[in-house]
Amino acid sequence: MNTRHNSGRTFPTALILVVAFATGLGLWLLSQQFGTADIGTTAITRYPAPRAVVEFQLTRSDSRALTAADLKGHWNLFFFGFTNCPDICPITLGVLKQVRAQLVQAGAGDQVNIHFVSVDPQRDQLEVLGRYVAYYDPGFIAATGSDEELNRLTRSLGVMYTREPAKDGQYNVDHSASIVVVDPQARLVGLFRPPLDAAAISADLLTLVRSRR
């Protein structure tokens, strides 16, 4: 029987081939499970292993609840901001408006939900939040909640926000500028970092949608 030698020990060639095949198969399965396989995305920063989104409950601008269960069955984009944001939020929502238009044009508009979550619930009442988001796209999902729920969700998604001390009743909110990506199993899989390019984001999302069909 043909043999190979390693550190003084003798192994049958057939056994070596079986182990090599099993190892390769295991790595391939892990790449599929954890989303590390190269499927042609360019703009998204993909995490090595998906992580389940924590249970949470926010309130949408239409007064309905938004929970982790609502994320299943669709790809989801999350952007956290506030309606008084002077620059980052309008710019990002403008990009997301283009993204949604391109997804709709490609026939995938119903495969991706775009969420704008206000981290300023004191000023962003539901009616205000709904009008603000509808200005960009009525198809966006707007929501907010208590700081307890917001903190739970933002920590789970790896983003953050802080509020400056109020002066004369006015204050600003610092928040992450990235767009978080959650898959149809309600798992955090990656994010889009600034500078944001609508065409590149749309192309990546279409690749992700088609890879799961």
Residue type, 70: D
Query: Rg (Cα) of the chain, in Å, rounded?
Result: 22
Q: Same domain for 126 and 163?
A: yes
Q: Are residues 67 and 160 in the same domain?
A: yes
Map residue 33 onto helix, strand or coil: helix
What whole-number distance in Å separates Cα of residue 7 and Cα of residue 143? Answer: 61
More confident call, 36 vs 195: 195
Domain span at residue 172? 45-211
Same-domain pairing of 105 and 29: no
> What percent of the chain clears pLDDT 90, i.e. is strictly above it?
77
- Residue 42, both tokens: 């360019």
Is residue 8 situated within a structural domain? yes
Task: Identify whether 19 is part of a domain.
Answer: yes
Look at residue 44 and tell me whether its pLDDT is greater than 60: yes
Residue 3 in any domain: the answer is yes
Is residue 79 located within the same domain as residue 54?
yes
Contacts of 3 (CB under 8 A, 6+ apart): 10, 11, 12, 13
On whether residue 55 sits in a domain, the answer given is: yes
First to last CA, the chain: 46
158 and 54 assigned to the same domain: yes
- Is the same domain home to 74 and 140? yes
> What is the spatial distance between Cα 18 and Cα 24, in angstroms, rounded to a whole number?
10
Dihedral, 202, 207, 208, 212 alpha carbons, nearest 10: 140
Q: What is the dihedral of CA 109, 71, 129, 172, to 10 degrees?
A: -110
144-184 per-position pLDDT tens digit: 999 999 999 999 999 999 998 888 878 999 999 999 999 99
Mark whether 113 and 65 lie in a shared domain.
yes
What's the chain's average pLDDT?
85
Range in 1-15, 77-91, 178-192 the model is least confident about = 1-15
- Indicate whether 35 pLDDT > 90: no
Q: How far is CA 138 from CA 17, 19, 44, 61, 131, in A?
A: 57, 54, 25, 11, 9
Residue 39 included in any domain: no
Residue 113: give its domain's CATH number.
3.40.30.10
109 located within any domain: yes
Q: Are residues 93 and 27 in the same domain?
A: no
- Please report where in the chains the tokens 């390693």 appear, as a residue: 6
145 shares its domain with 182: yes
Q: pTM to 2 decimals? A: 0.81
Structural domains in the chain (count)? 2
- Do 138 and 173 reside in the same domain of the chain? yes
Tokens of 172: 């600003």
Q: Does residue 25 lie within any of the structural domains?
A: yes
Tell whether 175 and 82 lie within a shared domain: yes
pLDDT per position as a tens digit, 85-111: 999 999 999 999 999 999 999 999 999
Q: Is residue 197 part of a domain?
A: yes
> 38 pLDDT exceeds 70?
no
- What residues does 59 pair with on adjacent strands? 65, 144
- Whether 154 and 100 share a structural domain: yes
Higher-confidence residue: 118 or 33? 118
